[in-house]
């Protein structure tokens, strides 16, 4: 990712404020239509304000899917790191990341 940013193939942007259909609304009011969004929320789930209206979270605010599967309500949206498997979260995230990368690479742009 660092090499992609340095080469200009990936452009970091301001904080995402919300999603509006195929448009991403940034905190500064800018609207963009990126090929991909990577949201890193840290150690606390903070998805409800961002995605709560998209019907992709369960009653506890957790994603309804993870890994290489997208929610029916939001095709192309993927989640990782929101489960706590007995095998360990980092291992699961690595497996999910590979599945997600394959799905994104196969998806039409």
Average pLDDT over residues 61-88: 88
DSSP state of 74: S
Convert the pLDDT of each residue in 16-69 to its tens digit: 888 887 899 999 999 999 887 777 666 677 888 888 888 999 999 999 998 889
What are the extents of the domains in the chain? 1-35, 39-109
Angstrom distance (rounded) from CA 4 to CA 27: 23
Angle at 92 between CA 86 and CA 98, to 5 degrees: 165
* DSSP letter string, 45-58: ---HHHHGGGT-B-
pTM of the model: 0.71
Angstrom distance (rounded) from CA 9 to CA 46: 28
- Classified as helix, coil or strand, 20 is strand
């Amino acid at each position: 990712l660092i090499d992609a940013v340095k080469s200009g193939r990936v452009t970091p942007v301001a904080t995402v404020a919300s999603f509006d259909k195929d448009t991403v609304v940034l905190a500064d009011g800018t609207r963009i239509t990126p090929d991909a969004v990577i949201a890193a929320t840290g150690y606390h789930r903070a998805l409800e304000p961002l995605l709560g209206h998209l019907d992709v979270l369960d009653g506890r605010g957790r994603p309804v899917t993870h890994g290489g599967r997208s929610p029916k309500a939001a095709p192309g949206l993927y989640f990782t790191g929101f489960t706590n498997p007995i095998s360990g979260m980092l291992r699961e995230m690595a497996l999910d990341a590979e599945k997600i990368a394959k799905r994104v690479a196969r998806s039409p742009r």
